[in-house]
Amino acid sequence: MPQKISLTRYLVEQQRVDGHIPSQLRLLLEVVARACKSISQAVNKGALGGVLGTAGSENVQGEVQKKLDIIANEVLIEANEWGGHLAAMASEEMDGIYVVPNRYPQGEYLLLFDPLDGSSNIDVNVSIGTIFSVLKKPEGAGAGVSEQDFLQPGHRQVAAGYCIYGPQTTLVLTVGDGVAMFTLDREMGSFVLTQENVQIPPDTKEFAINMSNMRHWDAPVRRYIDECLAGKDGPRGKDFNMRWVASMVADVHRILSRGGVFLYPWDKREPDKPGKLRLMYEANPMGWLVEQAGGAATSGRQRILDIQPGKLHERVSVILGSKNEVERVTGYHAGAA
Ligand code: AHM
Ligand code: MG
């Protein structure tokens, strides 16, 4: 039987053999993985743990917080604040940044997360997940840390990933050397490498979009979906299938596993907002994972990873997945400009 490779061993080997993960980053990723294990436990208990339902509060974006949103946020902060590897954290569930308290040593990394993505699926027992992104404090930023230090484009990420809580709990990670997947072995209590060098096929017959928003879309997105729906007899000359889980982690996980294209575009419901999803802790980490697996990620107008954020909770239009499809939709935007 082949030897099992744990996440710890994978990270140690990345550090030792390839030398591109400093020990502090390795520690950080191990701690994030440990926090994800705790969140996975809480998610699994569901109603038995009294963790379902709303918490009676709203986050900075005016969304109702679920109990598990808050629990997951706290688990990630408590796990990460004392290790000495971080300067500060930012989360979908917190208005401002969380600076590591003075009683702990300060590190040089910045951690951003969506503690529990796909919140609307929590109470209905459908896959949800934690998304994370790691940046380094900019050179010459001086002592202390501010929100400004976080405002770096996605191509500056040093690690990114997500943990999906579904039929299996799987941690998906990139440190800039391809994408690896680790499945949680509950008996062993550790994440075990189950897939390396994940690749997204460049072509697909599967798209993911919330079709109920169709009447609000812009012309390029409408054109793309209309052409997919036209099937074999349309301009694409093939039939397409559609999937929409309404958990970005689940939709992206499917795309990393068998290809596809995911769109959450700008729409007319909120004309002043560039999109629904958040750039820094949703689009950037997912965009980098997808690129590392040979796919592409754009806003329709620009590569996601090249967008300079103006604020922590910035939103963005997202098109990601199989490269030829993403390039096609992006091309339709260029044609419409
Ligand atoms: P959340 O972070 O508040 O859970 O919202 C993000 C989620 C994504 O996971 C998913 O792709 C999208 O919202 C679904 O939105 P909709 O319900 O509009 O289809
Ligand atoms: Mg989210």
CATH number of the domain bearing residue 232: 3.40.190.80
Phi, psi of 303 (to 5 degrees): -60, 130
Instruction: Tell me the per-residue pLDDT of 209-251, one tens digit each, with 9 for 90 and over.
Output: 999 999 999 999 999 999 999 999 999 999 999 999 999 999 9
What local confidence, expressed as pLDDT, does residue 336 receive? 76
Whichever domain contains 37, its CATH number is 3.30.540.10
Is residue 233 assigned to a domain?
Answer: yes
Residue 1 has pLDDT above 70, yes or no: no
28 lies in the same domain as 154: yes
Rounded Cα distance, 101 and 307, in Å: 30
50 lies in which domain range? Answer: 7-195
What local confidence, expressed as pLDDT, does residue 62 receive? 74
For the chain, the domain total comes to: 2
Rounded Cα distance, 29 and 8, in Å: 9
Instruction: Find the ligand nearest to 318 CA.
Output: 1
Residue 146 has pLDDT above 70, yes or no: yes
**Residue 238 vs residue 2, higher pLDDT:** 238
According to the annotation, is 176 in a ligand binding site?
no
Rounded Cα distance, 315 and 327, in Å: 21
Instruction: Find the ligand nearest to 59 CA.
Output: 1
Computed over every residue of the chain, the mean pLDDT equals: 94
**Beta strand residue intervals within the chain, DSSP E:** 54-58, 64-66, 86-91, 98-99, 109-117, 128-136, 159-165, 169-174, 179-185, 190-195, 206-208, 241-242, 261-264, 277-278, 296-298, 315-316, 318-321
Rounded Cα distance, 269 and 1, in Å: 55
Instruction: Tell me the per-residue pLDDT of 27-83, one tens digit each, with 9 for 90 and over.
Output: 999 999 999 999 999 999 887 877 777 777 777 777 777 888 899 999 999 999 999
Instruction: Find the ligand nearest to 114 CA.
Output: 2
Is residue 144 assigned to a domain?
Answer: yes
93 lies in the same domain as 166: yes
Write the CB contacts of 331 (distance below 8 Å, at least 6 apart in sequence). none
**Residue 242 vs residue 139, higher pLDDT:** 242
Is residue 321 assigned to a domain?
Answer: yes
Domain boundary among 195, 225, 250: 195
Q: What count of Cα atoms within 13 Å lies in the side-chain half-sphere of residue 253?
A: 30
Q: Atom 15 in ligand 1: which residue has the minimum CA distance? A: 246
Q: Atom 2 in ligand 1: which residue has the minimum CA distance? A: 117
Quick one: which atom of ligand 1 is closest to the CA of 118? 4
Q: Atom 14 in ligand 1: which residue has the minimum CA distance? A: 246
Residue 100 has pLDDT above 70, yes or no: yes
**Residue 224 vs residue 337, higher pLDDT:** 224
Q: How close is the Cα of 244 to the center of ligand 1, in Å?
A: 10
Confidence of residue 101 (pLDDT cuts 50, 70, 90): very high
Write the CB contacts of 79 (distance below 8 Å, at least 6 apart in sequence). 31, 32, 34, 35, 38
Counting ligand 1 atoms within 8 A of each CB, the residue from 269, 276, 290, 313 with the most, and so the one to mutate, is 276
Taking residues 143-170, what's their average pLDDT?
96
What local confidence, expressed as pLDDT, does residue 222 receive? 97
Q: Which residue in the block uniquely carries the two structure tokens 């900019």?
A: 138
Enumerate residues lining ligand 1, CB below 6 A. Answer: 63, 92, 114, 117-120, 210, 246-248, 264
34 lies in the same domain as 178: yes
